Amino acid sequence: MITIKEAITKKELTQYIKFPFSLYKDNPYWVPPIIADELESFDKTKNPAFENAEAYFYIAYQNEVIVGRIAAIINWSEVNGQAKKKVRFGWFDVIDNIEVTKALLNKVYELGLKNNLTYVEGPMGFSNLDKVGVLTEGFDQLGTMITWYNHPYYAKHFEELGYTTEKEYIESTFPFKNVKPEFFEKANDLVKKRYQLSPLNFKTTQEVMPHVDKMFDLFNASYANLSSFVAISDTQKDYFKKKYISLINPEYIKFVEDKDHNIVAFSIVMPSFSRALQKAKGKLFPFGFLHLLKAKKHSKDVLFYLIGVHPDFQNKAVTAIIFNEYYHTFKEKGIQNCFRTPELADNTAVHNLWKHFNPEVHCRRKTFRKDL
The pLDDT score that the predictor gives to residue 36 is: 96
**Is there a contact between 55 and 86 (Cβ–Cβ < 8 Å)?**
no
Ordered by where they begin, the domains of the chain are 2-171 (3.40.630.30), 174-363 (3.40.630.30)
Could you list the pLDDT tens digit for every one of the 372 residues in the chain?
999 999 999 999 999 999 999 999 999 999 999 999 999 999 999 999 999 999 999 999 999 999 999 999 999 999 998 899 999 999 999 999 999 999 999 999 999 999 999 999 999 999 877 999 999 999 999 999 999 999 999 999 999 999 999 999 999 999 999 999 999 999 999 999 999 999 999 999 999 999 999 999 999 998 887 766 778 888 888 888 888 888 899 999 999 999 999 999 999 999 999 999 999 999 999 999 999 999 999 999 999 998 999 999 998 999 999 999 999 999 999 999 999 999 999 988 888 889 999 999 999 999 999 999
The pLDDT score that the predictor gives to residue 322 is: 97
The pLDDT score that the predictor gives to residue 227 is: 64
